[in-house]
A = this chain, B = another copy of it.
Amino acid sequence: MIVVMKVGSPELEIERVSTELQEWGLTPEKIIGKHKVVIGLVGDTASLDPLQIQEISPWIEEVLRVEKPFKRASLEFRNGESSQVIVPTPDGAVSFGKNHPVVVVAGPCSVENEGMIVETAKRVKAAGAKFLRGGAYKPRTSPYAFQGHGESALELLAAAREATGLGIITEVMDAADLEKIAEVADVVQVGARNMQNFALLKKVGAQNKPVLLKRGMSATIDEWLMAAEYILAAGNPNVILCERGIRTFDLHYVRNTLDLSVLPVLRSLTHLPVMIDPSHGTGKAEYVPDMAKAAIAAGTDSLMIEVHPNPAKALSDGPQSLTPERFDHLMQELEVMAKVMGRWAESPMAIA
């Protein structure tokens, strides 16, 4: 349920309404929109009569039910206004959202050694990326495969961050590692395999760093938004949704089927910003550029692209990684496309 306050409602009145609703046993959340303030209500609202709430204050414009199973994540909860996730990085704050330039995240699948991660960071930064991705802890199908360098990789990410000013995005697989990851990461990633690891969702929801929530391999849109809801409900409002390809019947040529239709669908359902990962989404470097361009044309807020200085020797996901040269070229193509969409930062530095 949401309570839409009239334009110009006095701050004190908004507080009063919130306090009263709290006394009714609800959890009010104040959402400041462009023109109006909305008070989102979560709790046992089924039995409440909107008219009864309306009577609390003459400054209340209307009281509406959120029909979707996801409440805080729904577009209705913000009265139709999209939200932005602002991430502080060494080079300044970067905003993810519908009214901001497309944010490019790039880097290798795994952090392999200091040389490669710092070199890659410098290259992707020079090309216009704002964030470095790189796995310290890697979810691998086999227990015998390279599992990531763990804690020591975190230090290398910190070094790359310091050397370039890029923000860091890295995955947490085990709640026990969350604290040390959050010390280095600017955005904490929950991977596709853990999208419904509810214990982990609650924990990333209870800390401060923004969360990148990848869609599970066969997660419906509703399940994905409900997973986001777990994080929001635990108190962390900064969630970015990342589509990374779904599992279908035909995976002969691609590793996953990249579902770009999530872009208009999510736009009609949620205020949260959306990222597309065409690298995992296709699993082949040669298909990444076309899908990255398509994602921008369809309105993505962000892209995650795997870049490795030497894909053939990568410890993981080499086939889907671009070389730094190919990435440079792609960024030029993306710039043209994003400018048409009015979604490119004039100068890569300007946004900082």
CA distance A221 to B248 in the complex (A): 12
Given contacts A141-B223, A218-B217, contact A248 B257 (CB under 8 A): yes
Q: How far is the CB of A196 from chain B (nearest CB, A)?
A: 4
A249 and B218 within 8 A (CB): yes
What is the count of identical protomers in the complex? 4
Separation of A328 and B250 alpha carbons in the complex (Å): 35
Contact with B along A218-233 (1 / 0, CB 8 A): 1111110010011001
Report how many residues on chain A are interfacial, defined by Cβ distance under 8 Å.
Answer: 69
A24 within 8 A of B: no
A336 at the interface (CB under 8 A from B): yes
Question: Residues of B contacting A258 with CB < 8 Å?
Answer: 260-261
In Å, the complex CA distance between A217 and B336 comes to 34
* B-facing residues in A269-288 (Cβ within 8 Å): 269, 281-282, 286-287
- Are A229 and B261 in contact, with the CB atoms below 8 A? no
A136 within 8 A of B: no
Interface check A194, CB cutoff 8 A: yes
Q: Is the CB of B221 within 8 A of A252?
A: yes
**A139 within 8 Å of B (CB atoms):** yes
Residue of B nearest to A44 (CB): B144
In the complex, A257 Cα to B265 Cα: how many Å? Answer: 11
Residues on B with beta carbons closer than 8 Å to the beta carbon of A174: 175, 199
Most buried by B among A140, A141, A230: A141
Expressed in whole angstroms, the Cα–Cα distance for A193 and B219 within the complex equals 10
Give the residue name and chain of the B residue nearest to A288 (CB). Answer: B264
- Tell whether, in the assembled complex, residue A198 and residue B140 are in contact, meaning their CB atoms are under 8 Å apart: yes
Q: In the bound complex, what is the Cα–Cα distance between A144 and B70 (angstroms)? A: 9
Among B254, B265, B340, contact of A287 (Cβ-Cβ < 8 Å): B265
Cβ–Cβ < 8 Å partners of A219 in chain B = 250
Q: Does A299 contact B (CB under 8 A)?
A: yes
Task: Kindly list 13 other residue pairs between chains A and B, CB separation below 8 angstroms, not including A69-B141, A294-B297.
Answer: A142-B226, A193-B198, A194-B196, A220-B249, A246-B249, A246-B250, A261-B282, A290-B297, A293-B297, A293-B298, A294-B294, A294-B298, A297-B337
A residues at B contact (CB < 8 Å) = 42, 69, 71, 139-144, 173-176, 193-194, 196-200, 202, 217-223, 226, 229-230, 233-234, 246-254, 257-261, 263-265, 268-269, 281-282, 286-287, 289-291, 293-299, 336-337, 340
CB-defined A-B contacts under 8 Å, sample of 20: A69-B142, A139-B198, A141-B223, A143-B202, A193-B197, A217-B218, A218-B249, A218-B250, A246-B250, A248-B248, A249-B249, A253-B269, A257-B261, A260-B291, A260-B294, A261-B282, A291-B298, A293-B297, A296-B297, A337-B340
